[in-house]
C-alpha cells in the first residue's frame, strides 16, 4: 500500500492512544488499557465535565494533582510519532488529527496537528474559546489563595482536554472535517474507533463523493476493519509498521518519481 501514499495528493492521519503506548502512556481499551483494568475509572471519567460545570472549585481541587498528567508530561515521542512527522516533511502527510492529549506529535516535529480531544498542556475557556498554556498559571498557588484560573473574560478555565459528554470545540471540529473532506488517503493508527465523533471521521472519508483510501494500522481489528471502512488493514505495532511504511514510500518515490 506504500504506492497509495506515495501517489496521494492530500493524505491525513487520525491517531489514537495506540500510537503512544510505546512511549509508556497506557491506552484505554487495549488489553492493558486504563478502562480495561479499571472500569470504575471510566465511570468516574463521565462525571468530570459535569463537576466542572457545577463546581469549578471542586473540579480544580481534584484535578490539580494528576499522576497520569505527570507521566504524559515526562513521555517522549516514539517511532510512530517520528514516522508521521517524517511523512509530513516529505510533503505527503498534510495533517494529523489526534485523539491524544499528550502533545507527542508536536514534540516529534509534526507541524499541522489538530488536538481533537484537546491537549494537557493547555487550558481553555468554554465561554469565549480562548486557550492558554497551562504553565502560564501557578495553579497550586492560585488554589491556595482560594481562587481558580480565570479567562480574560473572567469565566473559569478548565483543562483543554475534552471530557466525556463535552462537545468537541467548534473550531477543532470544523478544521477536522475540512481536512477529511480534502483528503484522498486517510491513515488511521492506534485507535479502537469506538468513540464518536472521532470515529465518524474515517467514515466521512470513505463515504464522500470522491472516497479516500483508508489505511488502518492497529494491534487488533476494529469496527472500521469489520465494517469494511478500511481499504487496508495492517495488524501490528504502529512503532514498527509506520517506520516500515515510510521506508517503502521512499523506495517507491526513488524508483518511480
Ligand atoms: P483506545 O484505548 O480505545 O484504543 C487504542 C487501540 O490501539 C486499541 O485497539 C489497541 O489494541 C491499539 N494499540 C495499543 N497499542 C498499540 C500499538 N503499539 N500499536 C498498534 N495498536 C495499538 O484509544 P482511542 O481509540 O484513542 O478520550 O480512544 C479514544 C478516546 O477514548 C480517547 O481519546 C479518550 C478515551 O475516552 C478522551 O480523552 C476524551
Residue nearest to atom 13 of ligand 1 (CA): 18
Distance 24 CA to ligand 1 centre (A): 13
What is the pLDDT, as a whole number, of residue 128? 96
Secondary structure class of 186 (helix, strand, coil): strand
Q: Whose CA is nearest to atom 29 of ligand 1?
A: 195
d(CA 71, CA 60): 19
- Mind listing the pLDDT tens digit for each residue in 145-173? 999 999 999 999 999 999 999 999 999 99
Q: Prior bond to 205 cis, omega within 30?
A: no
Q: What is the mean pLDDT of the chain?
A: 96
Chain segment 239-248, per-residue pLDDT in tens: 999 999 999 9
Q: What is the pLDDT of residues 42-100, one digit of tens each?
A: 998 999 999 999 999 999 999 988 888 888 999 999 999 999 999 999 999 999 999 99
Residue nearest to atom 14 of ligand 1 (CA): 18
Q: Structure pTM? A: 0.97
Cell numbers for 42:
471510566
Of the pLDDT bands very low, low, confident and very high (cuts 50, 70, 90), residue 213 is: very high
Q: Which of 27-36, 164-173, 188-197 has the lowest mean pLDDT?
A: 27-36
DSSP 10: S
Neighbours of 54 (CB within 10 A): 10
| 63: nearest Cα among 161, 135, 131 | 161
Q: Of these residues, 117, 134, 203, 237, which one is catalytic? A: 117
Sort 28 into a burial class: Cβ within 10 Å, 0-12 / 13-18 / 19+: buried
Rounded Cα–Cα distance for residues 178 and 229 (Å): 19
Report which of 63, 42, 38 is spatially closest to residue 51, judged by C-alpha positions: 63
State the pLDDT confidence band at 256, using cuts at 50, 70 and 90.
Answer: confident
| Annotation says 117 is catalytic | yes
Q: Which domains does the chain have, with CATH numbers?
A: 2-256 (3.40.50.1220)
Which residues have C-beta atoms less than 6 Å from ligand 1? 16-18, 21-22, 27-30, 33, 99, 101, 117, 162, 190-192, 195, 218-220, 222, 237-239
Amino acid at each position: 500500500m506504500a504506492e497509495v501514499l506515495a501517489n496521494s495528493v492530500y493524505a491525513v492521519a487520525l491517531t489514537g492512544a495506540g500510537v503512544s503506548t510505546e512511549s509508556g502512556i497506557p491506552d484505554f481499551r487495549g488489553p492493558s488499557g486504563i478502562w480495561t483494568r479499571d472500569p470504575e475509572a471510566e465511570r468516574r471519567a463521565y462525571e468530570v465535565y459535569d463537576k466542572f460545570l457545577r463546581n469549578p472549585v471542586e473540579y480544580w481541587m481534584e484535578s490539580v494533582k494528576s499522576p497520569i498528567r505527570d507521566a504524559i508530561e515526562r513521555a517522549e515521542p516514539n517511532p510512530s510519532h517520528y514516522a508521521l512527522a517524517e511523512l509530513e516533511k516529505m510533503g505527503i502527510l498534510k495533517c494529523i488529527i489526534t485523539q491524544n492529549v499528550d502533545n507527542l506529535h508536536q514534540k516529534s516535529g509534526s507541524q499541522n496537528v489538530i488536538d481533537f480531544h484537546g491537549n494537557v498542556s493547555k487550558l481553555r475557556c468554554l465561554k469565549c474559546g480562548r486557550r492558554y498554556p497551562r504553565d502560564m498559571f501557578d495553579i497550586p498557588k492560585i488554589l491556595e489563595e482560594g481562587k481558580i484560573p480565570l479567562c480574560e473574560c473572567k469565566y473559569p478555565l478548565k483543562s483543554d482536554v475534552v471530557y466525556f459528554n463535552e462537545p468537541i470545540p467548534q473550531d477543532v471540529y470544523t478544521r477536522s472535517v475540512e481536512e477529511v473532506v480534502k483528503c484522498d488517503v486517510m491513515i488511521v493508527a492506534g485507535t479502537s474507533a469506538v468513540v464518536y465523533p472521532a470515529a465518524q471521521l474515517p467514515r466521512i472519508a470513505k463515504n464522500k463523493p470522491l472516497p479516500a483510501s483508508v489505511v488502518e494500522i492497529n494491534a487488533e481489528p476494529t469496527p472500521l476493519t469489520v465494517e469494511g471502512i478500511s481499504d487496508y488493514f495492517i495488524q501490528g505495532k504502529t512503532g514498527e509498521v509506520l517506520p516500515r511504511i515510510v521506508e517503502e514510500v521512499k523506495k517507491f518515490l526513488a524508483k518511480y518519481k
